[in-house]
A = this chain, B = another copy of it.
């Protein structure tokens, strides 16, 4: 199968980008590299570290580019992502609690394969289980107390709960409190820059209050982690976070294109990710059916936007699991079967998770295939 899908004879041939078997996830390496460099440069200016989220790209090759640009390590949302990416030698922070005996067994096994692995905790029974498991396995584990800063997803909801966890962690010979985490997921897509700043700083004040009480009680918190692409330019000024868990900035998407990330309307990050598709039927005037539907484009966000191959103003509409309808602006030339179009992905993370491979391009040439190593690895 792979022989037919991966037309390796296309590699490095001018124009070969348009001959890729579709639907395909196309990664523009120039834009990707520019985005990684722009975030690294910005973080340096702002005096904050980066621990980018691998849940977005699930790809060792991209993780290495982030590390080369100075990242401290990578975040993972799920244990299985770290299990897969561990072979690449990264330091990991698992940003959600690892719950249950079988998962904790896997975490213990993973600690031996990683330079560093830290995990977020928010529950007393879970900390108890980690204390017992690390002692039994003879493994050291760094933990961060996860604080709910308003997203209402994970994290302790009171200073008292955080203090109780810190005390138990301090008594566990194999656990070390490394700091606190507060991810303001609810803030990232607030469209207005000032509204987003207000919401971000409110969340960070909650996090700072927990950190201060922990430190006052003798539990140092060298790491204060959180933030995301949406709030990356606003968070550092609050002086709370030591590092940012940015994810989507590497490729951007239609959702983030609608968010003013810099406060002056300028773009720091470019669209580096496209779903490339082909017209398979064009029997009606004014529209064409392409070979990308809900199995190739996550449909939880806005509609994808045409980036190339069709006139500006062309509208995409899902037409089933395998197909989409492109409605052309009035007066456009028809798009005959075989026409190739590129769509900016609506929401990068779950769209990437539809595909096993990135088709890497520079300009109009296909130059490489990168695996989405941890695709589907959500357990």
**Residue from B55, B281, B318 in contact with A122 in the complex, judged by beta carbons closer than 8 Å:** B281
Please tell me if A262 contacts chain B, counting CB pairs below 8 Å.
no
Q: Which residues of B contact A154 (CB under 8 A)?
A: 280-281, 283, 289, 323
User: Interface code A277-320, partner B: CB below 8 Å = 1, 0 otherwise?
Assistant: 01111111001010110111011100000000000000000111
Q: Which residues of B contact A296 (CB under 8 A)?
A: 378
Task: Please give the number of chain A residues whose Cβ is less than 8 angstroms from any Cβ of chain B in the complex.
Answer: 75
Please tell me if A215 contacts chain B, counting CB pairs below 8 Å.
no
User: Interface code A38-82, partner B: CB below 8 Å = 1, 0 otherwise?
Assistant: 000000000000000001000000000000000000000110100
* A322-B378 in contact (CB<8A): yes
Shortest CB distance A293–B (Å): 8
- Provide the bound-state CA to CA distance between A287 and B325, in Å: 39
Please tell me if A354 contacts chain B, counting CB pairs below 8 Å.
yes
**Residue from B23, B99, B287 in contact with A280 in the complex, judged by beta carbons closer than 8 Å:** B99
Closest to A4 in B: B106
- Provide the bound-state CA to CA distance between A379 and B321, in Å: 13
Question: A126, A185, A283: which has the most chain B beta carbons within 10 Å?
Answer: A283
State the number of copies, please: 2
Which residues of A in the span 77-121 have a Cβ within 8 Å of any Cβ on B? 77-78, 80, 83-84, 96-97, 99-100, 102-103, 106, 109
**Residue from B291, B336, B347, B349 in contact with A125 in the complex, judged by beta carbons closer than 8 Å:** B336
Closest to A337 in B: B99
* B278-A300 in contact (CB<8A): no
Shortest CB distance A237–B (Å): 25
Given A5-B80, A148-B283, A300-B318, 12 extra CB contacts under 8 A: A4-B83, A78-B291, A97-B281, A99-B278, A157-B283, A292-B378, A294-B350, A296-B378, A300-B300, A322-B378, A354-B376, A355-B376
- Name A's B-contacting residues (CB within 8 A): 1, 4-5, 7, 19, 21-24, 55, 77-78, 80, 83-84, 96-97, 99-100, 102-103, 106, 109, 122-123, 125-126, 148, 152-157, 161, 185, 278-284, 287, 289, 291-292, 294-296, 298-300, 318-323, 325, 336-338, 347, 349-350, 353-356, 375-379
